[in-house]
Structure 1
Amino acid sequence: MSLFSFNSMKHYLLKFRYFILKLKSNQMYHIKIVKINKKMSRQQADPAFVLNFFTEELNSDNVHHRLFAASNIQLVAAAMGAEHARTELVQFLMNANQLDGEVQMILADNMGNLVKYVGGPEYASSLLGPLKILASAEEAIVRDKAIDSMNSVCNAIPAASADNFLMTTARDLATAEFFTARASASAFIVRIYDKLSETNKTSVRQIYKSLVKDETPMVRRSALKYLPQLCELLPANIIVSEIAKDILMGSVNDDEDSVRLLLPSSLSVISAKLGDSDRLNIIVSLGKMIVKDGSWRVRSAFATEIPAIAKPFSPDVIVNEICPILFRLLHDPEAEAKTAACKATSGMLPLLSKQENFVIEKVIPELSSLTNDGSPTVRREVALHIMELAPIVGKQHVSQSIIPLFGQILHDTDNEASVALLTSLLQHVEEVDMNSIVPAVLPTILEIANDAHWRVIVAIIKLIPSFAAVLGTDEFGKKLFPLVQNWLTFQFFAVRDTMTQQLGLLVQEFGSEWATQTLVPFILQLKTRENYLIRQVTLMCISRFHGYMPINSIVKYFLPTVLYMSNDRTPNVKFMVAKTLLLFLGANDQKVTQQVSACLKTLSNDPDTDVKYYACMALLKCQ
């Protein structure tokens, strides 16, 4: 009882039996408090009683009791005192593998904080025993928490004795009977490697190599999972002499594809650590082996890592060695591997930014062949990244090499491929010569515009301002304005809304005079359409013009129409009128303000509650 007074102990025991059970009901949490029925006495406050009480709680039938007890293990250790905690509590925790998984997880998470309660750093090693037990638990999350706590404990052990304790613990885990403990050994070794002496570092690397060759796939998977972290800590000469020879070359031929699947993630780390010659001999050789792997999952994982693996290589090696490997994956028989290779090609482009001829002669033809691939996923991925080539090949070659693919992709039966292509063009519109692209693409756009899926139409609409800048008012009026009219009255809201969003940019491009002569008359006549959804488009357009047309022009052309629509038979139109009327207050005209206020007052007495609400809110803003 050296750390706690009797009163503190009594408070702990009372707190231990008070727990909160949260029961959600009607958005309220009811608190159920279960109180201790036993009377506390001074005699009950000895370490044996505390441990018995703790044991009783951990074995309670009530899960909340068990979890609450486990989360308060620090209080238990403090109440028992350092000596009793080291001997009795730690000994009890050696049987933690008999507890249920949730309790084990909480104990594993909290045991790293017990160092000061067992006597400080001098006695921290006493906690390694139960943590090794928890590191062999069946649940992966328990093992992970145990390794985290072991790391905290090992950091606390004095440097003079830490080396032996760390090495012993690593060896115990790696040679344990249960494969779960051996699986935890890899994670532990990575955490403590830098703390070991040079002699023990050599020994622990031998242990790690034995884990890579373990008979259990789960252990081998764990070893390869943590291999990138271990390689970060190793010098290049050890990676070449030990890791590449004994681990990588062996793992690439492992019987389990779930083990081989983890190998590519190590190559990117190793590639950055090696010199040019070793990098070429080891990484490229392994890459050529992996692309022939029998599992598409392994090939896909390798394709994903190719940009990171290639980054340290010289441009010549990338062109002559890495890209041929990537091209092989682009022709993989499995769609998943080809899709991953397409993404990798996108990631490789920054490394090929100065290789214009290579991209034109090799990369573009490889991607072009995939526009006819049988998998929609592959075609979609090509379409999504095809315009990323534009900054490298230049505006002239975009027209010659990339634009011819547009018609083919836009006619694809998979709508997602068309959407991906148009989205890619929109993202790179500043990097390409739209003057050459628009004439080439426009015929296809006009051909599919009326029959395309609405998502394709939305993607086309977003490009309309860019097309307008190239076509000019006359050509735009002949070729695209009929489509604009059609899209403003389209059956899907997303199309109508997206089209109204582009109107301001069209006004900005062609000027207010064009808008008042061409666009405004069409919009105004929508107010009499039978479908109220189309009538609403008039009001949507007015809000889009705000900021692009002079306010006086907006008042002149649209205020009478909005006042007329305030008598619409549909409440949805009328509450949009209430919101739209506020835009006219920017004219700072007393007559306009009076008209707006009078209309809003009328709407505030509307029988529909929504109309009344929006009208009243607008009136408040007027004031």
Structure 2
Amino acid sequence: MSVDAESIESLMQAITGLSFSEEEISKNYEKIPPYLRLYEVETAEKLRVVRTLPVVASNLGPSKVKDVLIPKIDELITAAINNGEDELLLEVCRQLGTFPHLMGSANNIVNLVPPLGRVLSSVEEVVVGEAAADALIKVVAELSSTLIETNCVPLIKTVFDDDLYCSSRRAGCRLIVPCYAKISSNDIRSELKSRLINAANQEEEILLVREAAVTQLGLLAQSASKDRAEILASLVTLSNDNHRDIRAASVRSLLDLVKLYGEKELESTVYPVLERYAEDSHRNTRQNFAAHIAEFQTVFNKIGKQLGPLFIRLWEDNEPEVRRASAKNLVAFADACSKDTLNSQLVPKLKEHLVNEHDDRVRREIIAETARLLTKIRKEDSTELVKTVVSLITESGSAGAKQAVFDHLKDILAVTPPADLKNTIIPSLMKLYSDQNWRVRLGVVKNLPELMSAVDEAQISGTLVPAYISWLKDSASEIRDSAAQALGRVVKDHKSLTDGIAKSASLAALATEGNYQFRKVWITCAVELMDKGAASCIPVLVPQLMKLSSDKVPNVRLAVVKALVRLATHFDANIIKKDIISPLVELSKDEDADVRFYAEEAVSKQIYNKHVKDAKPVPRSAAGGGGDAKSSSASSFGAASAASGSQKSSTSGSAAKPASPADKKAAATAGAGKSGGKDLKK
């Protein structure tokens, strides 16, 4: 990013202003220009200045960054430390982490170590220390062995030897491995290794520091090939530590280490540790082991050792979080273990857990993993699992389990024979026709179209279509809209059903319902039928559609106009001239601005515009029923249905006139509340 010299100078002055000490401020307040008094502004303004540091650095060049910018940043860090501005220090460290590639040679980059080191050793806040460590790790990656030995190693010694904050030692643990990997001196490498192991093993040390040291041991082993035996022995000891967090932290480090080991150590040393993890007295350790057991199985495949019994033990744990961690790794473990373990141990237990698991979160994970596992197991097993999963829809009292099945129904259907779709799954779904939970009903509405390829047209017209028409009257708006779209999909694939649906008395009754939301749903459904179905339905639906053009509720008239815009290419000249153009011209003069806007857009289309001269005045009628439906976020479905068909504004006596189409949509669902779909209650 290129910035002019004047802007850079202004930014430099701003950075200078941030570094004034309280003493300098009190002595020289009148001499300090107002634009440099950034110590008086909000923290957000200071952060904005600090975030310009990379821009300044990229424009100054490596030499000036080292000689000019870094000293100013150093002053800024001093001022922030003295004033206790941790948020500012955090942002400075984050920005300095981007400097290595802007400073050219390693001799320039090494100048970042002192200011970052001061933050690391002087600030108690853990997050700030971690940010300083992150930046220093990026700096170390660009330095030579000599520069690390002369600049970074002394910093590590200071952090561990001086009586500093525990956050400093915690962050310092993360510096040891990057430095160890690049240093050539065996003595210094040995010293760094000893510091890390001692920090992990010392029971007198603060827990946060010990935990950080333990998590680094596995990474250290990747570089310390000669010291792996010592590190393994240390981790074996730590796996039996008195503190639960240390035992839990040792799991990941042990995994990193065993990936480097041969067969002998895996069988004799590591496997007993894994058994201890699976039986640990605290759930954190068991949960952490469950999250990584698939990776351990991949390692143990080298010696043909199966961890199936350990996995099942964790899967049957009395703590839901442990069972959940196991369930989330079911497919990964199935991929790692042998086919015999999968078929003889995991699959039978899977059927059992699908039925007997009582925790909804665990069961959702099991259902999700089962759907992904179906293609990896034997056909006879997958058929049984499908039946078990589908049975959850009707036999389980849990709405969460039903919803989980719907979330993964496509994967389940992909391996289900057509006969089972027709004889098992469709009847199971239809049993949930009027489930009390609206999300369950929504799952049925959205997933039934996936099954249409497995059923004949007679079953679609006799079972599915009536169900979808009834869902158009559901109390949840999302279900009504999904049902209308599903009918569009039905007629798209089975055009011969279009006329029957269009002439349905149940559907036609929606167009004259007292509640305006049902009239809107009828319009949505009519659009889907005319857009995707047979053209023969257009003469049936257009007259009623145009009657709604004079509805008392602006939202309904707006829906009519939008329908005309979308369907313009579907209408022939006779339909336009006979039924459409006159009401459309009247709508272009509507009292509602949004209705006029879309009506004018429709009239401007050539297919309508050429018939404008044939338009005749249309008297305004009380379409959609009499009276006014009251707009209230507390109104129920029964009250809204009993009320009349128009919508009045809750703040005035005139018809509702939202300022924009987006507001119009919000107004249309004002009576719905914001309950995620329960907008109308029976």
**TM-score category by the smaller chain?**
0.7 to 0.9
1:139 matches 2:122: no
Q: Aligned partners of 1:559, 1:300: CA distance in 2, in Å?
A: 62
| TM-score, length of structure 1 as denominator length | 0.79
SS at match of 1:135: helix
Partner of 2:211: 221
Assess if the C-alpha contact under 8 Å between 1:383 and 1:409 holds in 2: no
Partner of 1:173: 159
1:513 matches 2:496: yes
Displacement of 1:432 after TM fit? 2.5
Displacement of 1:442 after TM fit? 3.8
Q: Aligned partners of 2:392, 2:255: CA distance in 1, in Å?
A: 36
- Counterpart among 297, 301, 305 of residue 310 in structure 1: 297
Partner of 2:308: 323
Displacement of 1:568 after TM fit? 2.7
**For residue 400 of structure 1, what is the amino acid of its counterpart?**
E
**For residue 244 of structure 2, what is the amino acid of its counterpart?**
D
Alignment of 1:7-156 (within 5 A): 15=14, 37-38=30-31, 97-100=81-84, 101-105=86-90, 108=93, 128-129=113-114, 131-136=116-121, 137-151=123-137, 154=140
Q: Aligned partners of 1:576, 1:85: CA distance in 2, in Å?
A: 63
Partner of 1:548: 532
Displacement of 1:600 after TM fit? 1.8
**For residue 474 of structure 1, what is the amino acid of its counterpart?**
A
- Counterpart among 414, 435, 441 of residue 425 in structure 2: 441
Q: Per-residue displacement from partner, 1:62-93 (whole Å, max 9, x unpaired)? A: 6669879988999999999959998x997997
Alignment of 1:544-623 (within 5 A): 544-545=528-529, 548-550=532-534, 552-587=535-570, 589-594=572-577, 595-622=579-606
**For residue 334 of structure 1, what is the amino acid of its counterpart?**
E
Alignment of 1:471-490 (within 5 A): 471-490=455-474
- Counterpart among 266, 272, 277 of residue 285 in structure 1: 272
1:410–1:233 CA distance, 2 compared to 1 (3 A) = farther
1:172–1:570 CA distance, 2 compared to 1 (3 A) = same
Q: Aligned partners of 2:566, 2:65: CA distance in 1, in Å?
A: 73
**For residue 553 of structure 1, what is the amino acid of its counterpart?**
S
Q: Per-residue displacement from partner, 1:383-436 (whole Å, max 9, x unpaired)? A: 333322321235443333440343245332221111101222223322332422
Identity of aligned residues (%): 19
Assess if the C-alpha contact under 8 Å between 1:326 and 1:341 holds in 2: yes
1:332 matches 2:313: no
Assess if the C-alpha contact under 8 Å between 2:324 and 2:361 holds in 1: yes
Assess if the C-alpha contact under 8 Å between 1:346 and 1:388 holds in 2: yes
**For residue 245 of structure 1, what is the amino acid of its counterpart?**
A
Partner of 2:377: 393
Displacement of 1:37 after TM fit? 4.5
Displacement of 1:10 after TM fit? 9.6
Assess if the C-alpha contact under 8 Å between 2:308 and 2:341 holds in 1: no
Partner of 1:30: none
Assess if the C-alpha contact under 8 Å between 2:15 and 2:76 holds in 1: no
The total of aligned residue pairs comes to 577
Partner of 2:179: 192
SS at match of 1:618: helix
Displacement of 1:122 after TM fit? 5.6
Q: Aligned partners of 1:114, 1:453: CA distance in 2, in Å?
A: 55
Partner of 2:335: 350
Q: Aligned partners of 2:605, 2:214: CA distance in 1, in Å?
A: 65
1:13–1:145 CA distance, 2 compared to 1 (3 A) = closer
1:501–1:39 CA distance, 2 compared to 1 (3 A) = closer
Q: Aligned partners of 1:63, 1:14: CA distance in 2, in Å?
A: 17
Q: Per-residue displacement from partner, 1:133-156 (whole Å, max 9, x unpaired)? A: 321321123212332444465566
Partner of 2:194: 206
Q: Aligned partners of 1:89, 1:150: CA distance in 2, in Å?
A: 15
Q: Per-residue displacement from partner, 1:238-286 (whole Å, max 9, x unpaired)? A: 43x132212x212212233233332333344334433455445555333
SS at match of 1:606: coil
1:114–1:306 CA distance, 2 compared to 1 (3 A) = closer
Q: Per-residue displacement from partner, 1:525-576 (whole Å, max 9, x unpaired)? A: 43223332222222212333465324x3353332223122223333222111
Q: Aligned partners of 2:436, 2:104: CA distance in 1, in Å?
A: 75
SS at match of 1:499: helix
Partner of 1:46: none
Q: Aligned partners of 1:89, 1:505: CA distance in 2, in Å?
A: 64
Displacement of 1:512 after TM fit? 0.9
Q: Aligned partners of 2:380, 2:545: CA distance in 1, in Å?
A: 49
**For residue 349 of structure 2, what is the amino acid of its counterpart?**
E
1:14–1:286 CA distance, 2 compared to 1 (3 A) = closer
Partner of 2:483: 499
1:109–1:420 CA distance, 2 compared to 1 (3 A) = closer
- Counterpart among 488, 507, 522 of residue 538 in structure 1: 522
**For residue 329 of structure 1, what is the amino acid of its counterpart?**
L
Q: Aligned partners of 1:443, 1:9: CA distance in 2, in Å?
A: 72
Partner of 2:230: 242
**For residue 246 of structure 2, what is the amino acid of its counterpart?**
V
**For residue 446 of structure 2, what is the amino acid of its counterpart?**
K
1:365 matches 2:348: yes
Assess if the C-alpha contact under 8 Å between 1:330 and 1:366 holds in 2: no
Partner of 1:51: none
Displacement of 1:108 after TM fit? 4.5
Partner of 2:220: 230
Assess if the C-alpha contact under 8 Å between 2:324 and 2:365 holds in 1: yes
Displacement of 1:340 after TM fit? 1.4
Q: Aligned partners of 2:10, 2:29: CA distance in 1, in Å?
A: 12
Displacement of 1:480 after TM fit? 3.6
Assess if the C-alpha contact under 8 Å between 2:468 and 2:486 holds in 1: no
Assess if the C-alpha contact under 8 Å between 2:221 and 2:227 holds in 1: no
1:213–1:613 CA distance, 2 compared to 1 (3 A) = same
Q: Aligned partners of 1:224, 1:457: CA distance in 2, in Å?
A: 50
Assess if the C-alpha contact under 8 Å between 2:290 and 2:325 holds in 1: yes
SS at match of 1:598: helix
Displacement of 1:157 after TM fit? 5.6
Displacement of 1:455 after TM fit? 0.6
Assess if the C-alpha contact under 8 Å between 1:410 and 1:417 holds in 2: no
1:302–1:340 CA distance, 2 compared to 1 (3 A) = same
Displacement of 1:57 after TM fit? 7.7
1:443–1:82 CA distance, 2 compared to 1 (3 A) = closer
1:260–1:545 CA distance, 2 compared to 1 (3 A) = farther
Q: Aligned partners of 2:346, 2:533: CA distance in 1, in Å?
A: 46
Displacement of 1:343 after TM fit? 0.9
CA RMSD of the aligned region, Å? 4.2
1:89–1:538 CA distance, 2 compared to 1 (3 A) = closer
1:462–1:395 CA distance, 2 compared to 1 (3 A) = farther
1:202–1:545 CA distance, 2 compared to 1 (3 A) = farther
SS at match of 1:432: coil
Alignment of 1:422-441 (within 5 A): 422-441=406-425
Mark the runs of 5 or more structure 2 residues left unpaired by the alignment. Answer: 1-5, 19-27, 610-682
Assess if the C-alpha contact under 8 Å between 2:501 and 2:507 holds in 1: no
Q: Aligned partners of 2:238, 2:76: CA distance in 1, in Å?
A: 40
